[in-house]
Amino acid sequence: KNATLGETIEVHHKVQSFGRVAAQTAKQVILQRLREAEREIVMAEYEDKIGTLINGIVTRVEARIVRVDLGKTQAIMPASEQIQSERYFPGQRIKVLLKDIEKGFRGPQPVVSRGSADFMRQLFAAEVPEMDGGAVEIKNISREAGVRSKIAVSSLVQGVDPVGTFVGGHGTRVNAVMSEVGEQEKIDIIVWD
Convert the pLDDT of each residue in 13-65 to its tens digit: 777 777 888 889 999 999 999 988 888 887 888 888 999 999 999 999 998 89
Q: Answer yes or no: are the C-beta atoms of 95 and 55 closer than 8 Å.
A: yes
**Average confidence (pLDDT) over 61-77:** 91
Instruction: Tell me if residue 101 falls in helix, strand or coil.
Output: strand
Task: Tell me the one-letter amino acid at 130.
Answer: E
Can you tell me the mean pLDDT for 170-177?
A: 93
For a pLDDT cut of 90, what percent of the chain falls above it?
64
Q: Tens digit of pLDDT for each residue in 141-155?
A: 999 999 999 999 999
pLDDT for residue 135 is more than 80: yes
Alpha-carbon distances of 160 from 2, 45, 166, rounded to whole Å: 84, 38, 11
Q: Write down the pLDDT at residue 4.
A: 86
- Tell me the mean pLDDT in the region 75-99: 93
At 89 the pLDDT is: 93
pTM for the full predicted model: 0.79
Which pLDDT score, from 0 to 100, does residue 186 have?
Answer: 93
**What is the per-residue pLDDT for 81?**
93
Is 105's pLDDT higher than 80? no
Phi and psi of 166, rounded to 5°? -75, -30
- pLDDT at 104 exceeding the cut of 80: no
